[in-house]
Amino acid sequence: MENTTVSKRKLLTIAGTGWMFDAMDVGILSFIIVALQKDWGLTPQQMGWIGSVNSIGMAVGALVFGLLADKIGRKHVFMITILLFSIGSGLSAFTTTLSLFLVLRFLIGMGLGGELPVASTLVSESVAAHERGRIVVLLESFWAGGWLIGALISFFVIPSYGWESALLISAVPALYSLVLRFKLPDSPRFEKVKAVKKVSVLQNMRAVFAKGYTKRTVMLWILWFCVVFSYYGMFLWLPSVMVMKGFSMIKSFEYVVIMTLAQLPGYFSAAWLIERMGRKFVLVTYLLGTALSAYFFGTAESLTLLIVCGALLSFFNLGAWGALYAYTPEQYPTEIRSTGAGMAASFGRIGGVLGPLLIGSLVTKGVAIPTIFMIFCIAIVVGVLSVIFLGEETKQRQLA
């Protein structure tokens, strides 16, 4: 018989570990793109397609698995998505062509994109209102740990043993699904709703745009698009941008690892502020900090300024991500919460498709790095305006 309750600390650890594995895969990918460019002689457009196909898969996965989570439960979908991206990562280590690598990245992306909104919904529905925001931001902080692990694996493994070995390591999380099967209960709110209300997938999708939710949905879709567009455009290309600025692959990996360390204080500071100052305050403040950091990173010439601005970029951007994942599930009632969160994340992933492709295209045309990063600054400001004018404060509000 499965456990039906779990302490918030245990819940955070179990769900956060799955989140960490997700981040580890994305972190490794940003370094593998650099290695593949050297091994396979990829063009900037082909490098951009690797990140974009991953985001296309994430868009599909967020939508499909978000809908599925409102039908079969958060826990089961969480397990399925981890298996999907872990097995896909292991198989991609054996590819010898870009085409097959892209097919597997699509499947991996489906798992990655499905796992994140489902995990945040599960945790949101399992903790009290007065600490829900803080706990979900702490859940998101596992992303920094995973990205750092991915960066360290890339730094120590890829130069000596090849990118294939790094991908084989990223298949290990498949075993974690066994832990989820026996240690993680499903959302208590979902179990109650499941027992009394049966609705179709199409009804759930329509309900996201029903009266009372339309403004929230429009705000989330704009916000998600802008945040994902800028994040995947900047961070998947971060090691590559360092190489373009004249550093060797080894040195670029080393500097990105240093920048990644700033993600953790970004999350922890956002977790501390979110229940004191509110979701809107944290989102607006940290996104504006991201925009300023991106501008100065793009224009930086000295190594010191690059590392400082890169660290600030990590600090503010990942803190904003934590607030975004806390804010999103709070916009909808339980019966459509995963559907609403999944659809917002899915629309946002379109930005994740366009961001890497845009950089690849602009680099090929000889557009300067400062100009490229200015585009991301503008996108982030648009996201800020959507929160200010369309967003409602949900601090300590009981879930519907």
* pLDDT per residue as tens digits for the range 106-155: 999 999 888 888 888 888 888 888 888 889 888 888 888 888 898 889 88
For residue 242, the model assigns a pLDDT of 79
Residue 70 falls within a domain, yes or no?
yes
Residue 112 falls within a domain, yes or no?
yes
Residue 194 falls within a domain, yes or no?
no
For residue 257, the model assigns a pLDDT of 80
For residue 273, the model assigns a pLDDT of 94
Block means of pLDDT (10 residues each) for the chain, length 400 residues? Answer: 60 86 87 90 87 87 89 86 91 94 95 86 84 87 87 89 93 78 74 66 86 94 95 80 77 81 90 93 97 91 87 93 91 88 91 85 86 93 97 80
CATH code where residue 97 lies? 1.20.1250.20
Residue 311 falls within a domain, yes or no?
yes
Give the range of the structural domain holding residue 140, as residue numbers without chain letter. Answer: 8-181+199-390
Say how far residue 256 (Cα) sits from the centre of its chain: 18
Split into its structural domains, the chain has a count of 1
Residue 399 falls within a domain, yes or no?
no
Residue 326 falls within a domain, yes or no?
yes
Instruction: Give this prediction's pTM.
Output: 0.80
Residue 400 falls within a domain, yes or no?
no
Residue 285 falls within a domain, yes or no?
yes
